[in-house]
């Protein structure tokens, strides 16, 4: 009887599980067949109105590149004093450039060509396949090394890569930002978008007013949740509800330098809610420096925020590493660190969204323009299932195509 039950489970439940798993696994690197053959970069547009883009991150500047190519009148209003948004790099801490924001290419490498508008399968960038051989788990008390098969399985499940000698920021700067950065007006947080008349009126924090025919909003979901931008008339109930119900977690990234490498490629830490991982940032890079990264998102972040100062957070991390590695962290820590607190940046308010975890109906609602005048772009609006930076850039191309094609 027991044998029959087991067989039934294997033959009925297992295939069902595989089918549903493969459904939700068609994201990022696995969604190669979802990539568009051509994007707005390959098309020509005749649009004689004015477009204002809110935000100079990956999605905003991707959209701007299309406007620039077609000699369309546009302006980018950026809240901070830099472009890139959640893309940022540091060249001061180590002997290689470090991604302080987005770091991994979760998508198949071919996506880089699509983002650049380049045809063909051969990519120019040198990448590091993120095939880890040395990983462990930590539950706060016990440190357990993972067997090789688990490392291999992790890579087959999520075949990611990283840039070998550069960063996401470099890729973005070279292929997108460079062409449009002259159109960015920095230190210009948009506080109000009024689309009740034929022209859209955009107000920034210092009271200055801009006029446009159409606006592309690329502020993060965290910024939209915080109501930092007032829409007049207000967004409808469905849109507000979708924004409220999306997950956009608090989080931060730390980079710490050591005189010796005492740690493995990655240590996954057990947490109740969110993600907590120590990882070798120099993995596969041309580097001599020993740099350990730490990424924390979700409710776990609050335990660190409760410590109040950056130095106290670093002390807590060193203490935890000492527990795992018998005092080797404090013995080899050089005192150099970077802590980028994305959850506390006013114009980011968190880390990332993962569309595959969200309700399809919410995604559809979010993607709807308002009144053929206000459009949205960012990683959550990507229809091609690429996640993160590729998702954000592709959504920029997708939304600007819609904006230019919809009637005025």
Ligand X SMILES: Cc1cc2nc3c(=O)[nH]c(=O)nc-3n(C[C@H](O)[C@H](O)[C@H](O)COP(=O)(O)OP(=O)(O)OC[C@H]3O[C@@H](n4cnc5c(N)ncnc54)[C@H](O)[C@@H]3O)c2cc1C
Which residues are near ligand X by CB under 6 A?
54-60, 77-80, 85-87, 101-104, 106, 189-190, 218-220, 223, 228-229, 253, 342, 347-348, 351-352, 378-379, 388-389, 392
**Whole-number minimum distance, CB 110 to ligand X, in Å?**
15
Q: Which residue reads 């890569």 in tokens?
A: 161
Closest CB to ligand X among 100 and 267? Answer: 100
- Can you tell me the distance from the alpha carbon of 70 to that of 73, in angstroms, rounded to the nearest whole number? 9
Tokens of 67: 């406007």
- Can you tell me the distance from the alpha carbon of 373 to that of 198, in angstroms, rounded to the nearest whole number? 9
Answer whether 343's CB lies under 8 Å from 361's CB: no
Q: Which residue reads 């701007």 in tokens?
A: 64
Closest CB to ligand X among 40 and 332? Answer: 40
**Whole-number minimum distance, CB 377 to ligand X, in Å?**
7
**Whole-number minimum distance, CB 299 to ligand X, in Å?**
16
Tell me the β-bridge partners of 75: 52
CB atoms within 10 A of CB 331: 13
- Which helix or strand (DSSP H or E) is residue 171 part of? helix 168-172
Closest CB to ligand X among 332 and 355? Answer: 355
Closest CB to ligand X among 47 and 231? Answer: 231
**Whole-number minimum distance, CB 140 to ligand X, in Å?**
23
Nearest to residue 30, comparing CAs of 387, 338, 333?
A: 387
Closest CB to ligand X among 253 and 373? Answer: 253
Closest CB to ligand X among 226 and 328? Answer: 226
Closest CB to ligand X among 321 and 380? Answer: 380
To the nearest 10 degrees (0 to 180), the angle between helices 360-367 and 237-245 is 130
DSSP tag of 214: E
User: How many CA atoms are closer than 13 Å to the CA of 181, on its beta-carbon side?
Assistant: 12
Closest CB to ligand X among 253 and 285? Answer: 253
Q: Are strands 251-258 and 290-297 parallel, antiparallel or unpaired?
A: antiparallel
**Whole-number minimum distance, CB 217 to ligand X, in Å?**
8
- Can you tell me the distance from the alpha carbon of 293 to that of 186, in angstroms, rounded to the nearest whole number? 30
Answer whether 254's CB lies under 8 Å from 337's CB: yes
Closest CB to ligand X among 159 and 388? Answer: 388
Radius of gyration of the chain (CA): 23
**Whole-number minimum distance, CB 327 to ligand X, in Å?**
29
Cα–Cα distance list, 79 to 75, 229, 312 (Å): 13, 11, 29
**Whole-number minimum distance, CB 228 to ligand X, in Å?**
5
**Whole-number minimum distance, CB 146 to ligand X, in Å?**
21
Answer whether 129's CB lies under 8 Å from 123's CB: no
**Whole-number minimum distance, CB 219 to ligand X, in Å?**
3
- Can you tell me the distance from the alpha carbon of 26 to that of 157, in angstroms, rounded to the nearest whole number? 11
């Amino acid at each position: 009887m027991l044998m029959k039950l087991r067989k039934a489970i294997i033959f009925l439940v297992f295939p069902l599980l595989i089918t549903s798993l493969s459904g939700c696994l068609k994201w990022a690197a696995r969604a190669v067949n979802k990539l568009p053959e051509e994007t707005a970069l390959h098309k020509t547009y005749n649009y004689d109105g004015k477009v204002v883009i809110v935000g100079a991150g990956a999605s905003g500047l991707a959209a701007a590149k299309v406007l620039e190519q077609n000699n369309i009148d546009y302006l980018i209003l950026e809240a901070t004093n830099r472009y890139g948004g959640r893309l940022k790099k540091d060249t001061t801490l180590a002997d290689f450039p470090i991604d302080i924001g987005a770091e991994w290419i979760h998508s198949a490498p071919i996506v880089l060509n699509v983002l650049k508008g380049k045809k063909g399968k051969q990519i120019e960038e040198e990448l590091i396949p993120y095939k880890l051989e040395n990983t462990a788990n930590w539950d706060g008390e016990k440190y357990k090394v993972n067997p090789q098969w688990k490392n291999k399985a992790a890579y087959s499940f999520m075949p990611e890569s990283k840039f070998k000698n550069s960063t996401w920021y470099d890729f973005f700067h070279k292929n997108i930002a460079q062409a449009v950065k002259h159109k960015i007006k920095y230190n210009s947080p948009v506080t109000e978008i009024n689309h009740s008349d034929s022209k859209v009126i955009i107000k920034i924090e210092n009271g200055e007013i801009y006029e446009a025919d159409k606006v592309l909003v690329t502020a993060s979901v965290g910024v939209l949740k915080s109501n930092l931008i007032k829409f007049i008339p207000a967004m409808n109930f469905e849109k507000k509800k979708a924004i409220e119900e999306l997950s956009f977690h608090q989080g931060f990234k730390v980079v710490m330098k050591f005189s010796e490498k005492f740690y493995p490629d990655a240590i996954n830490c057990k947490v109740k809610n969110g993600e907590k991982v120590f990882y070798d940032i120099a993995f596969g890079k041309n580097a001599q420096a020993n740099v350990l990264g730490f990424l924390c998102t979700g409710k776990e972040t609050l335990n660190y925020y409760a410590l109040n100062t950056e130095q106290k957070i670093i002390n807590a991390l060193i203490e935890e590493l000492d527990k795992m590695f018998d005092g080797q962290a404090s013995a080899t820590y050089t005192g150099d660190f970077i802590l980028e607190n994305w959850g506390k940046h006013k114009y980011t308010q968190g880390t990332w969204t993962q569309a595959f975890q969200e309700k399809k109906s919410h995604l559809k609602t979010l993607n709807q323009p308002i009144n053929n005048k206000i459009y949205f772009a960012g990683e959550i609006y990507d229809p091609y299932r690429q996640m993160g930076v590729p998702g954000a850039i592709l959504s920029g191309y997708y939304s600007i195509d819609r904006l230019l094609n919809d009637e005025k």
